[in-house]
Structure 1
C-alpha cells in the first residue's frame, strides 16, 4: 500500500453583521465553504482550515492560538527552505480527555495525536493533497522539550510520541525533519470539536460493509450500506479498529480518509451552501474546535482565503506515506519494530520532493546543453509511442529518474532508465536533452516538456534515441506549467463515491 493528493479554494465576502442576524452571502463567496471542507477534511477532525477567512469576518476570537513555550520548533537556519508560495498546514487530531466534552472517552492522562495529516495547498490554490502519517511509523525523532521543560534527547520511536513528548510544536519539528517540507502552520482538534463539526453539518453519510457493535468505540451500526452518522457516531466510526478492517491503524487511516471525502461532499452540497444559517453554524462549530500556532494570524488567514480560487472535489486527494511491515530479519535485529511500520524511503522521499517543489517549474536559462549544434529547424510532430527515451539522474535525489520515466510513460513515450547509477557524480546543474542520428524532431518535442532546455546532437548517440539528463534544476515534466505528483497506491479522491471503497 502506498499513499498521494491534489489542491484548491475561495474567499467569502459578506456584509457587516450586527447583533445576531444571519449573513446573506452571494456570488463566488460561497466557494469558501470548499476551502472550509478541505481543511475539515484534512483534519479528520474536520478542522476548517479554509474557513479561516470566513471565520475572521464572522466568528473572530473562536480559535485559540498556542505559544511555542519551550522552543520545540527548530531555529530558522535549521528548518527546510521555503521553495515557493504553496501552503503546508499540519493537522493533528488530539485524543485529550481534558474538558467536559472529552472526559467520557477515558481517563488517560496526557495528550496524544493519533491522527497527523500534512495538508498541501498548491501555489495557485487550485489543488490540495492531504498526506497521512501512520501513527505506528517507527522514525528518528528530533530532540524536544516536554511540557514541563525537560529535554528529551533525539531517539527512535513511534511518530505520534512526538506529540506526547512535546506537543504540536514538537510534532511540527518532527515532520519537517523527516520530510524536509517547510510547514507554515498547524491546527489541532479534539474529540468534542470533531463531533460539533459533524453535527453542524447535520450528520455525514458513510457506507458500512456490515452491521456491528463496537463497545470500545462506543458505536452501534444497525445495518450495512449507506447511512448518516451524527457527531458521536462519526467519532466512533473513525476510531474503530477491530470491527472493520484488520485491526491495524493503517486500515483506520483509509477509513478516516474516506470519511473526510464524505465531509467535503456534504460541506459543499447545496444543502449547506444555499442555507446561510447552516453555513454559519458549520463555520462557527469548526472554528471553535481549533487551536493553532501563534503565526496563523488574521493576515495569514485572509491571504490564504483570497489565494484559493475555488476547488473541485476531483482535485482533492488523500494519501498515506508509502510504508511496509518490518521483515522478520528486521524485527530480529530490533525487537522494538514488532507491530510497527517502516516507510518505503525511496517512494516516500519521491512524494516529499514533489510536495516541496509544488510541481512547478523554475525559470531556466535557454542555453544549449551539449557541445554539438542545437536543433534550429522547425520540428515535425512525432508520435510519442515511437520515441525511445533514456533517462539519467544527474542529481543525488533518489528516485528522480524513476519518477521521470513514470511521467514519460504516462505521456506514451517508450521511456526507461539509461543507468541505475548516478550520472556525473550527481553534480549536473542543468537538465539536458540529447539525441542520436534522426532523433531531432523527437528531441525537440520532448524538450517542450522541459522548458528552457535546447536539445543538441549527441556525438555517440544511437539512431533515433533521445537522452534526458536530469540536473539540479529539474522539478518535473511540464509543458502546461506543472508536473505530476507521483501516483500512490490506495489514494482517495474527495469526489469518490462513499460506497466505492470500504475498509
Structure 2
C-alpha cells in the first residue's frame, strides 16, 4: 500500500482529541462486522418500532456481494440461527476504493487490511487471523463480476491484489486456498468508512510507548500513553507502518489489533450498546460504508452471530498473524511448517495458547491498571503455615465410566499475536 500524506479532501473529517489516562479494562474482542451485529441485536430487543426502522434502513442501504465458488456457482449459505456450529468470516478494509478520497491513485482497489474470523464448532473459542497485505501467495482463477468466465490464476502475488482481480469473491477464494478453511461470509469497508466509524463512537483509545510521528502518513501523536483518536487520525494510525516496530506490515498488524480491541471495549463499557439512539447512528454509519455478502444481509444471521460472539470468554479469543517471514525483497512469505501446524489445530477444532511474550516487535503487553490485586495468601498456604491433618477416610475410587478430563490446549510458541484478555501498547520506533 502506498503511504499517504494527508489529502485535502479529508480535511473536513473530524480531527482527533488527544486524552491521556488509564487503559480501559478489557472485556472480549469482536470483529468490526460483529459491532454492527451486536448493535442490531440490542436494537431489536429495544422496541418494535425502532427495530422496524433499522431493519428498513439496513435492507435499503446496504451494498451486497454475492459470493460464488471457483466455478461461478452461488454458494448455499446456512443461516447461523439454524446452524449451531462454527463459522468463518472474511473482513477486508479497502484502499483506493471507488468514491473514497484516494480513488484513482492506482489502477486497482486493494484489500489493504485482512482479517479471517474463525469461530469454533463448539462456539467456545475464536481465532482472528491477520493476513499480511504483502504476503506472497498464489491467486486462483476467480470468476468475473459479470459472471462471464474467470480471470486467470496467478502465482507469487501479494495477497492485497486479490480484490482487484475479482472483488471479495477473489479475496475469499485466495484465503480459502491459503488456509484450507471454507469461508461462508465476507464484509468489506472503505478506509473512509473506518474513519467514519471511529468518529461515530466519539473516538477510540490507543496506547503508544513514545511520542509518534510518521512523515509518510502525517500521523502526529506528541504524547506517549493513551491517546483518543478519531476521523482521519484514526485512519492514519491504522495505516502507519514506519512509525511502529520494525516498520513492517507485521508491526502494523499489532496496532490494528490493539485499535479494534479498544473500539469494542468502548462500545461495551460506554453504554453504546444499551442506547437505542446511539445504536441507530452507528448502524447507519456502518451501512453507509460497508458491503456484506448475501448471507450477512439477513438480520437473523447478524443477530445470531452477535449472540455467539458475545458468549465467548475473552481469554478464548486469540489474534494471530499468519505465520510468515520477510524475504530479500521486503515481502512477506509463508512459513509453511508453522502455517500447517496452526491450521491443523483450527481445522480440528482444537484450542491452543500463545507463548508468554507473543506480540512480536510492533506491540507489547502492558499491565492492566484496572486489574484487581491478587488476594492475599491464606495462612495455611504460606511458608510455615499449618498443614492439614491427614484423613483416615479412604480415597474414593475413580469412576471408569466418567469422561476423561479435556486435554490442556497446546502452546504454539511460534504464533505471534495476543488474546483479547491482553492489554497491549504499540512500540514506537
1:134 to 132, 135, 146: 132
State the match for 1:320 in structure 2: 321
Could you tell me the TM-score, scaled by structure 1's length? 0.59
State the match for 2:220 in structure 1: 220
Q: CA deviation at 1:98?
A: 2.2
1:497 pairs with 2:423: yes
Contact 2:92 2:114 in 1 (8 A): yes
1:257-293, CA deviations, whole angstroms, 9 ceiling, x for partnerless residues?
A: 1111211221211443454433333333234322111
Q: CA deviation at 1:112?
A: 0.5
Partners of 2:182 and 2:43 lie apart in 1 by: 25
Partners of 1:132 and 1:297 lie apart in 2 by: 24
State the match for 1:469 in structure 2: none
Partners of 1:448 and 1:169 lie apart in 2 by: 49
Partners of 1:501 and 1:313 lie apart in 2 by: 23
Partners of 2:401 and 2:268 lie apart in 1 by: 38
Matches within 5 A, 1:83-482: 85-99=85-99, 102-103=100-101, 107-147=105-145, 151-298=151-298, 299-308=300-309, 310-326=311-327, 338-359=329-350, 479-480=405-406
* Partner SS state of residue 405, structure 2: coil
Q: CA deviation at 1:95?
A: 0.9
* Partner SS state of residue 107, structure 1: coil
Ranges in structure 1 where 5+ consecutive residues have no aligned partner: 1-33, 332-337, 361-402, 407-444, 452-477
* Partner SS state of residue 259, structure 2: helix
Q: CA deviation at 1:75?
A: 6.5
Q: CA deviation at 1:125?
A: 3.1
Partners of 2:406 and 2:422 lie apart in 1 by: 26
Partners of 1:224 and 1:308 lie apart in 2 by: 33
Q: CA deviation at 1:448?
A: 10
Aligned-CA RMSD value: 3.7
1:351-390, CA deviations, whole angstroms, 9 ceiling, x for partnerless residues?
A: 1122223228xxxxxxxxxxxxxxxxxxxxxxxxxxxxxx
Q: CA separation of 1:294/1:308 partners in 2, compared to 1, >3 Å: closer, same or farther?
A: same
Ranges in structure 2 where 5+ consecutive residues have no aligned partner: 1-26, 45-50, 77-82, 356-397
Partners of 2:306 and 2:423 lie apart in 1 by: 28
* Partner SS state of residue 295, structure 2: coil
* Partner SS state of residue 256, structure 2: helix
1:58-104, CA deviations, whole angstroms, 9 ceiling, x for partnerless residues?
A: 34324211235xx564567999xxx99211000111113422xx225
- Higher RCO structure, 1 or 2 (CA under 8 Å, sep 6+): 2
Could you tell me the TM-score, scaled by structure 2's length? 0.68
Partners of 2:274 and 2:301 lie apart in 1 by: 27
* Partner SS state of residue 140, structure 1: strand
Find the structure with the greater CA-based Rg. Answer: 1
Partners of 2:177 and 2:246 lie apart in 1 by: 31
1:66 pairs with 2:65: yes
